[in-house]
Amino acid sequence: MPELLVVGGALVVLLTFVDAFATTLAVSRGAGPLTRTVLAVLWRAALRVHRRDREGGWLVAGGPVLLVTTVGLWVGALWTGWTLVFHGSQAVVTSTGGRPAGLADVVYSTGFTVFTLGTGDFVAATPGWRVVMAVATFSGLFLVTLAITYLISVVAAVVARRVVAVQVHGLGDSPAEIVARGWTGEGFGSMFQQQLVSLSTAVATSAEQHWPTPCCTTSTPGPAAWPRPWPSRTSTTRSPP
C-alpha cells in the first residue's frame, strides 16, 4: 500500500507537468488533457446557465474563473502528488524528536516545501529524501513561475483580440456596412484596401494565439463593451452593384 501511494503520487506529479507544459509551451496543441477536460466541463456549465440568464454575466466571469481554475488545478495536483509520495514513504519526520509525521502534518509540510524554501517544523527522514524534497521545492517554484507567465500571456492575448475587434467594428457595424463604406461606386477605395491589408496580420496573429492561450476564447467583455445592433436593411448607405 505505501508503495502504491508513492507510485501514484509520482504519476500525479508527472501528469501535472505534462498538462502544464502542453498548455503553456506546446503552441499547436492548445490546452493539456487535464486542463482541456476540466475547462470544457466548466464552460459547458456556464453556457447552460447563460441560456437561462441572457444578460451574459456568467460568460463575462467565465474567462477569469477558468484561468484561476487552471492555475489552481496545477497547484492542487502538484501538492496532492508530492503529499502522496511523502506520506507513502514516511519520509517526513518532526525536526525535534524524529517522529513520523501524520497525514495532516505531511500535507502541511508538503505545501511548505513545494511552495516556499522548505524550512519548518518537519524535515526529511534520510539524506536521500532531502534531495527529493529539494526537487519538490524546485518543481513548485518552477510551476508557479510558469503559471504566472502563462497568465500574463493570456491577458496580453485577450487585449490583442479586443484590439482586433475594435478595429473591425470601426470599419462598420455589419459585413454589409463594411463593404458599403469601402465601395466608391466604381471600386473599393485605396484607403479601405490598406485598412484590410493591415488588419489581416492582426487577425492572423489573433487566430494563432488561440492555440497557446485557449482560455482567451472564453474571455467575454461585459455588456457595455458589446457592439451595437446591426443596421436594418433600409439603410441609405450605398451598396456595390
- Higher confidence at residue 51 or residue 123? 123
Q: How far apart are CA 48 and CA 112, in angstroms?
A: 39
Identify whether 240 is part of a domain. Answer: no
Where would I find the H helices in the chain?
2-24, 33-52, 57-89, 103-115, 127-171, 175-182, 190-208
pLDDT digits (tens, 9 = 90+) for 53-81: 666 566 667 778 888 888 999 999 999 99
What is the bridge-based pairing of β-strands 122-124 and 92-94? antiparallel
If residue 122 lies in a helix (H) or strand (E), which one and from where to where? strand 122-124
User: In this prediction, what percent of the chain has a pLDDT beyond 70?
Assistant: 78
Considering the domain boundaries, does residue 129 fall inside one? yes
pLDDT exceeds cutoff 90 at 41: no
Among 10-19, 108-117, 210-219, which is the least confidently predicted range? 210-219
Residue 188 phi, psi (nearest 5): -85, 135
Residues in the chain: 241
Which of 14-28, 169-183, 198-212, 218-232 has the weakest average pLDDT?
218-232
Domain membership of residue 52 as a residue range: 2-225
Asked whether residue 213 is domain-assigned, the answer is: yes
Do residues 217 and 175 lie in contact, with contact meaning Cβ atoms separated by under 8 Å? no
pLDDT confidence of residue 85: 94
pLDDT the model gives residue 233? 36
Which pLDDT score is estimated for 54? 62
Average pLDDT over residues 157-174: 80
Does a structural domain hold residue 235? no
Q: What would the pLDDT profile of 136-150 be if each residue is shown by its tens digit?
A: 999 999 999 999 988
DSSP 8-state class, residue 218: G
The Cα–Cα gap between 180 and 192 comes to 11
> Is 197 within the bounds of a domain?
yes
Is residue 42 a part of any domain in this protein?
yes
Instruction: Please provide the distance, in angstroms rounded to a whole number, between the alpha carbons at the two ends of the chain.
Output: 78
What is the overall mean pLDDT for the chain? Answer: 78
Structure-block grid coordinates of residue 218: 472564453
Q: What whole-number distance in Å separates Cα of residue 157 and Cα of residue 215?
A: 9
Q: Is 30 exposed, middle or buried, given 0-12, 13-18 or 19+ CB atoms closer than 10 A?
A: middle
Total of domains in the chain: 1
Q: Answer yes or no: is 237 within a domain.
A: no
What pLDDT is stored for residue 209 in this prediction? 63
**Which one is predicted more confidently, 218 or 156?**
156
Give a yes or no: residue 236 inside a domain. Answer: no
Confidence of residue 192 (pLDDT cuts 50, 70, 90): confident
pTM flag (> 0.85): no
Q: What gap in Å lies between CA 206 and CA 174, rounded to an integer?
A: 20
Q: What percent of the chain has pLDDT over 90?
A: 20
φ/ψ bin of 213: left (φ > 0), alpha (ψ from -120 to 50), beta (otherwise): beta
pLDDT band at 234; cut points 50, 70, 90 = very low
Query: Which of 141, 153, 63, 150 shows the shortest CA–CA distance to 133?
Result: 141
Phi, psi of 187, rounded to the nearest 5 degrees: 175, -175
Interval 93-118: pLDDT, tens: 888 877 888 899 899 989 988 888 66
